[in-house]
Amino acid sequence: MEPTGLESVAGQAPAPATARAGKQKPWRAIFVSWGKLRRADTIASLLGIPSYSIRHLYRGCREVASFWTLCRYVLQTLHTFFVCLRRRPRVVFVTHPPLFAAMPVYLYTILFRARYVMDVHSTCFIHPYWRRWDRVQRFFARRAALNLVHNADNAGVMEQWGAPHEILPSLPPELPSPAPTPDRARPLAVYICSFKEDEPVKVFLEAAGALPGVDFRVTGRAPEALRAALPPNVELTGFLSEESYNDLLSQADLIIALTTRPGTLLYGAQEAIALHKPLVLSRTGTLQAYFAEGTVFAENTPAGLREAVEGALSRRGELAKQMASFEKRYRAEGRARLERIRSRLSS
């Protein structure tokens, strides 16, 4: 989804029942991200703290990309420090990547005797660009009060670094109650895609072309060259507003999210859980460990993906019921983890 605005504050949810009952000390905390991220907003909402999305100059010219990025990071650094000064939190949650977002937060915590928590996404441990910054990542990770990581693979790296950490998989976002899927002559499958290097887009297109009885929608900004290679039953949506994106997912019979990377959890899976939608995911050890119900796993091959889509659509009623049950347990476990994290940081 396309971010909206330079700074937004998630609606402050009520504090958890235990906090309202006086069993926990009140705390001043904020969540800062250099992007509009549902994970950050969801965590902040459940903790009852504001979430700030800070973005500047995201539509620069490619010819001056490096200069534009530098200007953007300078503005976002100043903006982040200003938000911390204005709110004076005792704990600052900050999303990494980019790692540079942690720098003004670290400076604030040194000057004002506060603490920070890094929410470290899987790409930081996998992508070659961020691996070049491992020494700097270790520096900030070791000095954090806590590092939130998505899965056991990421936690293993934190253990090697000697950094405090907790595993917190993304939680399903709070979305409008899923409406009944409309009756259609042909089923609709939505592939949640951002066209990054770990997404097997060509495999998907070949599999979709072999399923002419299914309509496919692909989200995200696709390269222009891809448009000429689309099968007739595949439509690119481009970036959508949040409302249009949610509406598209709610109308789907099936949601698809794919990756070739190990050690990666896909946020599209969380949106499928929130809407009780059958899900097709790539068959990786990490994904199979977390998404136990309502899901069909696919090999990242045209034949494997075609078979998974056909199987999921033939069982979509059963899978939707499984997903609704799974969502309740998954949310309850996530909230329990967040309560432990809050208690740890409030002590």
**For 56-70, what is each residue's pLDDT tens digit?**
876 544 433 577 778
Superfamily name with CATH number, domain 7-168? Glycogen Phosphorylase B; (3.40.50.2000)
**Number of DSSP helices (H) and strands (E) in the chain, helices first:** 15, 13
With CA atoms as reference, report the closest residue to 244 among 205, 217, 277: 217
Q: Comparing 5-14, 109-118, 225-234, which segment has the lowest mean pLDDT?
A: 5-14
DSSP code of residue 150: S
Give 220's DSSP letter. Answer: B
The full set of domain ranges for the chain reads: 7-168, 188-329
Q: What is the helix, strand, coil percentage profile of the chain, to 5?
A: 45, 15, 35
pLDDT of res. 59: 57
pLDDT average, residue stretch 99-122: 96
Give me the pLDDT at residue 4, please: 28
What per-residue confidence (pLDDT) applies to 58?
65
- Please say if the pLDDT value at position 333 is more than 60: yes
CA distances, 218 to each of 30, 46, 257, 258 (Å): 34, 30, 10, 12
In 88-149, where does DSSP find H-type helix? 102-112, 123-126, 128-131, 134-143
pLDDT tens for residues 173-200?
888 776 677 778 899 999 999 998 899 9
* pLDDT tens track for 3-55: 322 333 333 333 333 333 334 445 799 999 998 888 999 999 999 999 999 99
Same fold, 7-168 and 188-329: yes
Which tokens hold the place of 220? 């995200």
In this prediction, residues 227-237 reach a mean pLDDT of: 92
Determine the pLDDT at residue 80: 97
Over range 134-149, report the average pLDDT: 96
Secondary-structure class of domain 188-329 per CATH? alpha beta
pLDDT digits (tens, 9 = 90+) for 289-320: 888 899 999 999 999 999 999 999 999 999 99
Q: Quick one: pLDDT at residue 62?
A: 43
Give the pLDDT mean for 210-233. Answer: 92
**Residue 227 pLDDT more than 50?**
yes
pLDDT at 7: 35
